[in-house]
């Protein structure tokens, strides 16, 4: 639920709220998708340092899970953050 709420905040332009909620989501449920959303919001506000940290973690987790779709998606966003 937190991930969905955070993403809704982001889509509504409430990125400060989005980051707060998405960080909580990642702490409680460190799923690849949750990390990806947090990284995307960091990118949206121009915080490349935090985006790279979160997206690197997402890429590594996707690789560990052997989730090819998420590997491709997280790597795409990681490259955008470089």
pLDDT tens-digit profile of 25-68? 999 999 999 999 999 999 999 999 999 999 999 999 999 999 99
Q: Give a three-class secondary structure readout of the chain.
A: CHHHHHHHHHHCCCHHHHHHHHHHHHHHCCCHHHHHHHHHHHHHCCCHHHHHHHHHHHHHHHHHCCCHHHHHHHHHHHHHHC
d(CA 74, CA 54): 10
d(CA 56, CA 1): 23
* Res 1: pLDDT: 83
Query: pTM score, two decimals?
Result: 0.95
Per-residue pLDDT tens over the stretch 3-28: 999 999 999 999 999 999 999 999 99
């Amino acid at each position: 639920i937190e991930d969905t709420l955070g993403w809704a905040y982001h889509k509504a332009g409430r990125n400060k709220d989005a980051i707060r909620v998405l960080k909580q989501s990642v702490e409680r449920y460190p799923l690849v998708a949750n990390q990806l959303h947090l990284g995307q919001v960091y990118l949206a506000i121009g915080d490349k340092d935090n985006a790279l940290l979160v997206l690197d973690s997402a890429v590594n987790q996707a690789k560990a899970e052997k989730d090819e779709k998420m590997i491709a998606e997280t790597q795409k966003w990681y490259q955008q953050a470089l």
